[in-house]
């Protein structure tokens, strides 16, 4: 495949030009352009979403991306196969999976590099010919195209000048003049090009034109930048003007004492602009930030660019060597080149000398002399109107009129960033630039990009830390440096140097020595946190007799002021965070003070309480708010890891409390991994261990690992048996039956329900009896025995209404998951809800879920009015007790029933309400399911395009969190969308893909109905091979489960063979 980007967009595949008319969507064409611009023609999905739909919600943007990919594939493929085109692999979109594309931009860059390196005229001529026009002129106003277009134009301009020099050397004057004219049309201020043109014109006897070129350049430079041509250009002008070599221009008297920069200044253009803006607004600006943040370098560079703005220049006073506050004024005078004051009042003498002057004074490193610097700054502001001050300090001076600017860390890369993006990031550029200083030839490339990203992120983009890390590149590879960053304080130093910036440890020790004793105590104790933390957490964990709770808030503020602690105000509550290198330093101090063990224990206790607050075994209404734990997820992990080593009982309790969070937020694999580790160490039989086993089983179920559920259910029953508590034992059997509804033997589960109901009644355990009755009702529902299911749900409701509403939660919330909906006179399975919700609730909430089950029983008999009435009562129940999670479930259910009734407006309202609630809760599983149901609604109401987009988005979400049943269900729903659209052959293909998804998971009823749908569609097409592959398998499962409707339907379709 060949793609042209220079001079305009065009694609050629296999000798066939892609007709511009086939690009139905402009964004589809732009998508291909963006991919073609990258060196390996692949981009992370998030990069594309940000470039193409920056203002759209994520769900909408993902939908648009899939549509654009579909259109682009069809455009590129034409009549050929689209295999390998625009594939989505591990969140990366790849233009051509089996190789790279020939892109004219890459060809030009390769030839330009060759020509400019070799200097050969023919090589340069070939490179010039390869530039067939500016990049994508039709996209001249697109932000994403501006930078690469300008870079390519600049490369072409430089190439033309090199070509002109080579052509002139080979006596091709006409070609040289033409190339220089083109180069200056691109960049009229290209001084090398102007000088070359002046020489060419003079060589051909056109001296007046050469001099005119200089005059034009001088005028343009003064207009644009207020400056003159550089000395070399001025000398050439004098030579041409006089016919003799020009004298060297007179040297200006020094107007600053800024040391020459020994290394390049990387990035910070935005920060310099911000500092200059603040200096226009006020005459005292203080740059604050953590040690090593680059305050001094930023101040020097900002000052360097202002030398011509002050009649008396800019001057910097380094206060590091000054220990006595009384010597600050003398040190400033010395920096200005003034004689020290003869009298005692050195400050007054300095003020008198500065009063008539117009200059910028930089006070560098003020943090150990705050009062003296603040006093001097106040006097200067009051008495010296022409003097501006720029200070650097690890905390503000707190002087009148002071404006502070916190110097941020350098921009950090994301793990998914491409090489082209990484090359633009200041943190990466700084590391690579400094690594090249000690190891010429060091470059950022695919082999070290991941390690460099890890280095920049681990060191929080702190310039000093990055420079010290880069110094190790002389003898270590980037991956070796990254692997040792857990010991950053030891790794990052310059051997042989003893200044406070020679090692990271030295600069942190300097800051630490300036803290009060209480500030030092709090700083080291904050090292126990992982990631960010709240004020409440800092008070709960760090306070004790030594450090009163009431002092923590003030001390946190002082550490923020001293740039040792970051604060984030983005959320509803402030969050604090230590930079990683400061955390390592503070952790060393924590161990040295022998406080690590008690602080880690306090940290674990606090976060166990925090997690338990969101998942209590309490009476009454159960309300989950999983999103509230997101900010502390790293701390919860750290607490659980500590408990696994030191306190197995707390590990068990914390794992239990976190299981609903992992479930709701889609952390299935991570949560299952933690619970398996917990169960390995918390081996004593207990009610909590049995609960943890069930929590593990539910997480595994979401990952499509139903084959592990029977063993886990049996293990939980064995634990309960050892306890000797009959109510616990029967409860555990009911939970085991509930767990296996989707994958187990329904005969066995039916017997469990009957036996458990009898045992619960005999024990007088009314809540347990209601749960057993619900299990029996769900078993009947799964077997599609509508009459028995209705009878049992009504009895369950009767029992629930007689139970004290404040009873501890006991009722497992389960749904049918796969109801049948009417399409073209036939009843088709759809995936509306996850059957195993993973919630145990109290009596009133149990009524809401039982009513929802009753509604599904009515749907089996096609009595949609009765189903709607039951689920409306479920909505009212959850609304009355303010159970948002239950209400989201009930509204989702109501919208689906109204869709089947043809009440599309009401259905959309209720589904949108459900989606809003689930998004507010942070229930990612629920969001995905409701999104799919909105897709089914759109298709049912005559908009299959929207149906496909929404259902595809649900599929993406399921796959993103490894929710295997949800991903299989989304494929089934996509098949149903195609049925609504009349695309029955496409529906059959998707249904068969759903079979492939469900079969290894072990969810028998899901697999059977998906096989039956595939078989029925194959029978319509007369495809007996597919019919024979799926029909008998569906019948066998239905017969084994005792599913009435499924068995009858499977028999009927097999009769058509």
pLDDT digit string (tens) for 7-26? 999 998 877 888 887 776 67
- Which residue has tokens 């036939």? 826
Question: Taking the domains of the chain in order of start, what are their residue ranges?
Answer: 2-100, 269-406, 419-505, 514-594, 986-1057
Nearest to 963, CA basis, from 937, 932, 934:
932
Q: How far is CA 453 from CA 127, 263, 456, 519, 681, in A?
A: 34, 22, 5, 33, 36
Query: Do the beta carbons of residue 911 and residue 878 sit within 8 Å?
Result: no
Comparing 23 with 333, which gets the higher pLDDT?
A: 333
Q: Which CATH number fits domain 514-594: 1.10.10.10, 3.40.640.10, 3.50.50.60, 3.40.630.10?
A: 1.10.10.10
CA 1032, 1033, 1038, 1044 torsion-angle sign: negative
Res 99 pLDDT > 80: no
Do strands 575-577 and 533-534 pair parallel, antiparallel, or not at all (unpaired)?
A: antiparallel
DSSP annotation of 544: S
DSSP structure class, residue 619: B
Nearest Cα residue to 38 out of 29, 28, 48, 46: 48
Rounded to whole angstroms, the Cα distance separating 566 from 608 reads 25
Distance CA 40, CA 100 (A): 7
Cβ partners under 8 Å of residue 972, min gap 6: 829, 830, 831, 990, 991, 994, 1010, 1013
CA distance 51 to 30: 10
Which helix (H) or strand (E) segment is 937 a member of?
Answer: helix 924-940
Domain 2-100 and domain 514-594 have a common topology: yes
- DSSP class of 531: S
Predicted confidence at residue 1019, as pLDDT, reads 93
* 580 contacts: CB under 8 Å, gap ≥ 6: 458, 459, 460, 488
H or E, element range at 96: strand 92-96
Distances (CA, A) of 44 to 39, 221, 230, 289: 13, 41, 44, 33
- One-character DSSP codes across 858-869: HHHTT-HHHHHH
**624 — pLDDT class (breaks 50, 70, 90):** low
**Short-list 687, 755, 674, CA closest to 717:** 687
Using CA atoms of 326, 329, 332, 334 in order, give the dihedral in degrees to the nearest 10. Answer: -90
Tokens 């024979």 map to which residue?
Answer: 1028
User: pLDDT, tens digit, for every residue of 647-656?
Assistant: 999 999 999 9
Rg of the Cα trace of the chain?
36
Token pair belonging to 561: 């002021």
| Range 2-100: architecture per CATH | Orthogonal Bundle (1.10)
Q: Does the pLDDT value for residue 286 go beyond 50?
A: yes
pLDDT at 778: 96
Q: What phi and psi, each to the nearest 5 degrees, are found at residue 93?
A: -95, 125
3-state secondary structure 550-581: HHHHHHHHHHHHCCCCEEECCCCCCEEECCHH
Q: Is 315 left (phi over 0), alpha (psi -120 to 50) or beta?
A: beta
543 neighbors 549 (Cβ within 8 angstroms): yes
pLDDT digits (tens, 9 = 90+) for 101-140: 889 998 998 898 888 878 889 999 999 999 999 999 888 7
Angle, helix 449-458 to helix 426-438, in steps of 10 degrees: 110
Please name the helix (run of DSSP H) or strand (run of DSSP E) that holds residue 406, with its range, or none: strand 403-406
Average pLDDT, the chain: 86
**What values do phi and psi take at 314, rounded to 5?**
-125, 145
Q: Which residue's entry shows tokens 């734990």?
A: 629
DSSP state of 741: T
Q: Which two tokens stand for residue 246?
A: 């020009």
Calpha distance 327→347 (Å, rounded):
9
The model's pTM is 0.63
Q: What percent of the chain has pLDDT over 70?
A: 92
Tell me which range, 178-187, 570-579, 807-816, is most confidently predicted by mean pLDDT.
Answer: 178-187
Tokens of residue 380, six digits: 């200067």
Report which DSSP code applies to 190.
-
Q: For residues 833 and 879, what is the distance between their CA atoms, to the nearest angstrom?
A: 20
The C-alpha atoms of residue 593 and residue 605 are separated, in whole angstroms, by 21
Buried residues in 225-234 as b, exposed as e (16+ CB within 10 A): eeeebeeebb
- Nearest-angstrom CA–CA distance, 852 and 237: 90
Query: How far is residue 845's CA from residue 883's CA, in Å, rounded to a whole number?
Result: 8
Q: How far out from the chain centre does Cα 4 lie?
A: 33
CATH number for the 269-406 domain, one of 1.10.1040.10, 3.40.50.300, 3.40.50.2300, 3.90.1150.10?
3.40.50.300
Burial of 376 (0-12, 13-18, 19+ CB in 10 A): buried
pLDDT bin (cut points 50, 70, 90) of residue 268 is confident
For residue 614, what are its two tokens? 């969101």
What is the C-alpha separation between 713 and 335, in angstroms, rounded?
A: 79
133 Rama sector, left if φ>0, alpha if ψ -120 to 50, beta otherwise: left
- What pLDDT shows up at residue 72? 83
Q: What is the pLDDT of residue 149?
A: 87
Average pLDDT over residues 425-453: 88
Report helix, strand or coil for 205.
coil
- Compute the average pLDDT of residues 905-931: 92
Give the per-residue pLDDT at 279: 87
Work out the pLDDT band at 947, boundaries 50, 70, 90.
very high
C-alpha 917: how far from chain center: 23
Instruction: Tell me the C-alpha distance between 706 and 741, whole Å.
Output: 11
Strand partners, 406: 288
Q: CA–CA separation, 660 vs 650, rounded Å?
A: 17
Higher pLDDT, 141 or 180: 180
Q: How far is CA 444 from CA 105, 264, 428, 436, 447, in A?
A: 21, 17, 9, 10, 8
pLDDT digits (tens, 9 = 90+) for 743-753: 889 999 999 99
Specify the pLDDT at position 247: 39
């Amino acid at each position: 495949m060949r793609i042209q980007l220079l001079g305009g967009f065009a694609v050629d595949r296999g000798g066939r030009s892609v007709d511009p008319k086939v690009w139905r969507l402009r964004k589809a064409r732009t998508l291909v352009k963006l991919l073609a611009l990258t060196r390996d023609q692949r981009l992370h999905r998030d990069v594309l979403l940000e470039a193409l739909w920056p203002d759209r919600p994520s769900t909408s943007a993902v939908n648009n991306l899939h549509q654009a990919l579909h259109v682009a594939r069809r455009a590129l493929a034409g009549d050929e196969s689209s295999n390998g085109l625009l594939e989505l692999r591990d969140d990366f979109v790849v233009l051509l999976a089996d190789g790279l594309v020939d892109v004219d931009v890459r060809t030009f860059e390769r030839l330009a590099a060759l020509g400019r390196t070799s200097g050969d005229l023919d090589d340069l001529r070939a490179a010039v010919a390869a530039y067939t026009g500016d990049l994508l002129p039709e996209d001249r106003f697109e932000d994403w195209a501006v930078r690469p277009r300008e870079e390519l134009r600049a490369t072409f301009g430089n190439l033309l000048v090199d070509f002109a020099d080579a052509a002139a050397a080979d006596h091709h004057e006409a070609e040289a003049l033409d190339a220089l004219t083109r180069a200056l049309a691109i960049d009229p201020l290209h001084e090398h090009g102007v000088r070359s043109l002046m020489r060419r014109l003079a060589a051909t006897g056109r001296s007046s034109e050469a001099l005119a070129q200089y005059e034009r350049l001088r005028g343009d430079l003064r207009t644009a930048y207020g400056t003159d041509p550089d000395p070399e250009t001025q000398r050439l002008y004098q030579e041409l003007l006089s016919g003799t070599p020009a004298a060297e221009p007179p040297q200006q008297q020094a107007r600053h004492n800024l040391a020459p920069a020994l290394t390049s200044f990387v990035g910070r253009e935005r920060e310099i602009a911000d500092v200059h803006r603040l200096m226009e607004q006020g005459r005292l600006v203080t740059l604050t930030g953590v040690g090593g943040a680059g305050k001094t370098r930023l101040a020097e560079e900002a000052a360097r660019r202002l030398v011509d703005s002050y009649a008396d220049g800019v001057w910097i006073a380094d206060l590091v060597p000054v220990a006595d506050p009384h010597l600050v004024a003398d040190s400033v005078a010395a920096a200005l080149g003034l004689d020290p004051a003869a009298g005692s009042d050195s400050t007054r003498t300095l003020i008198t000398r500065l009063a008539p002057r117009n200059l910028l004074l930089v006070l560098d490193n003020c943090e150990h002399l705050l009062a003296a610097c603040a006093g001097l700054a106040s006097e200067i502001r009051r008495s010296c109107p022409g003097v501006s001050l720029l200070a650097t300090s690890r905390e503000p001076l707190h002087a009148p009129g002071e404006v502070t600017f916190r110097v941020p860390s350098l921009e950090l890369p994301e793990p998914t960033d491409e090489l082209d993006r990484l090359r633009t990031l200041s943190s990466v550029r700084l590391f690579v630039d400094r690594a090249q200083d000690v190891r010429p030839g060091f470059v950022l490339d695919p082999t070290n990009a991941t390690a460099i990203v890890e280095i920049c992120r681990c060191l929080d983009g702190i310039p000093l830390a990055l420079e010290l890390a880069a110094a190790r590149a002389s003898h270590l590879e980037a991956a070796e440096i990254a692997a040792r960053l857990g010991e950053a304080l030891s790794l990052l130093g310059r051997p042989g140097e003893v200044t406070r910036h020679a090692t990271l440890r030295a600069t942190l020790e300097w800051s630490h020595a300036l803290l009060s004793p209480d500030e030092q105590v709090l700083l080291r104790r904050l090292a126990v946190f992982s990631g960010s933390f709240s004020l409440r957490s800092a008070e709960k964990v760090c306070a004790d007799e030594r450090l009163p709770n009431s002092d923590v808030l003030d001390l946190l503020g002082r550490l923020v002021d001293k740039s040792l602690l970051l604060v984030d105000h983005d959320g509803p509550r402030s969050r604090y965070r230590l930079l990683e290198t400061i955390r390592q330093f503070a952790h060393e101090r924590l161990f040295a003070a022998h406080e690590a063990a008690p602080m880690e224990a306090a940290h674990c206790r606090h976060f166990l309480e925090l997690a338990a607050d969101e998942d209590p075994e309490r009476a009454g209404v159960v309300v989950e708010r999983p999103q509230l734990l997101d900010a502390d997820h790293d701390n919860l992990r750290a607490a659980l890891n500590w408990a696994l080593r030191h306190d197995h009982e707390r590990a068990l309790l914390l794992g239990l409390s976190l299981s609903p969070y992992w479930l709701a937020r889609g952390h299935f694999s991570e949560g299952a991994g933690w619970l398996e580790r917990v169960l390995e160490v918390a081996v004593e039989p207990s009610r909590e261990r049995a609960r943890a086993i069930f929590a593990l089983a539910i997480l595994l179920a979401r990952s499509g690992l139903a084959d592990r559920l029977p063993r886990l259910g049996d293990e939980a029953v064995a634990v309960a048996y050892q306890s000797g508590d009959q109510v616990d034992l029967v409860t555990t059997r009911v939970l085991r039956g509930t767990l296996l509804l989707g994958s187990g033997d329904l005969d066995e589960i039916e017997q469990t329900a009957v036996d458990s109901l009898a045992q619960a009644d005999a024990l007088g355990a009314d809540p347990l009896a209601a749960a057993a009755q619900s299990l029996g009702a769900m078993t009947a529902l799964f077997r599609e025995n509508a009459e028995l299911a209705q009878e049992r749900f009504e009895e369950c409701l009767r029992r629930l209404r007689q139970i004290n509403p404040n009873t501890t939660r006991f009722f497992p919330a389960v749904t049918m998951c796969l109801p049948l909906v009417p399409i073209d006179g036939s009843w088709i399975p759809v995936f509306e809800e996850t059957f195993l919700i993973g919630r145990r609730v109290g009596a009133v909430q149990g009524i809401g879920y039982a009513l929802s089950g009753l509604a599904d029983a009515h749907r089996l008999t096609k009595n949609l009015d009765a189903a709607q009435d039951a689920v409306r009562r479920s909505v009212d129940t959850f609304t009355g007790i303010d159970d948002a999670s239950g209400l989201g479930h009930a509204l989702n259910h109501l919208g689906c029933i109204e869709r089947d009734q043809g009440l599309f407006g009401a259905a959309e309202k209720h589904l949108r309400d459900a989606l809003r609630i689930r998004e507010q809760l942070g229930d990612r599983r629920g969001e995905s399911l409701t999104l799919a149901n909105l897709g089914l609604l759109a298709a049912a109401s005559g908009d299959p395009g929207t149906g496909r987009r929404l259902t595809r988005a649900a599929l993406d979400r399921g796959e993103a969190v490894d929710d295997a049943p949800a991903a299989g269900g989304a494929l089934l729903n996509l098949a149903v969308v195609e049925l609504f659209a009349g695309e029955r052959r496409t529906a059959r293909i998707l249904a068969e893909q759903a079979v492939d998804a469900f079969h290894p998971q072990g969810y028998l009823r899901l697999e059977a109905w998906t096989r039956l749908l595939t078989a029925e569609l194959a029978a319509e097409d007369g495809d007996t091979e597919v019919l024979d592959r799926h029909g008998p398998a569906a019948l066998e499962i239905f017969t084994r489960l005792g599913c009435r409707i499924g068995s009858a339907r499977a028999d009927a379709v097999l009769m058509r063979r």
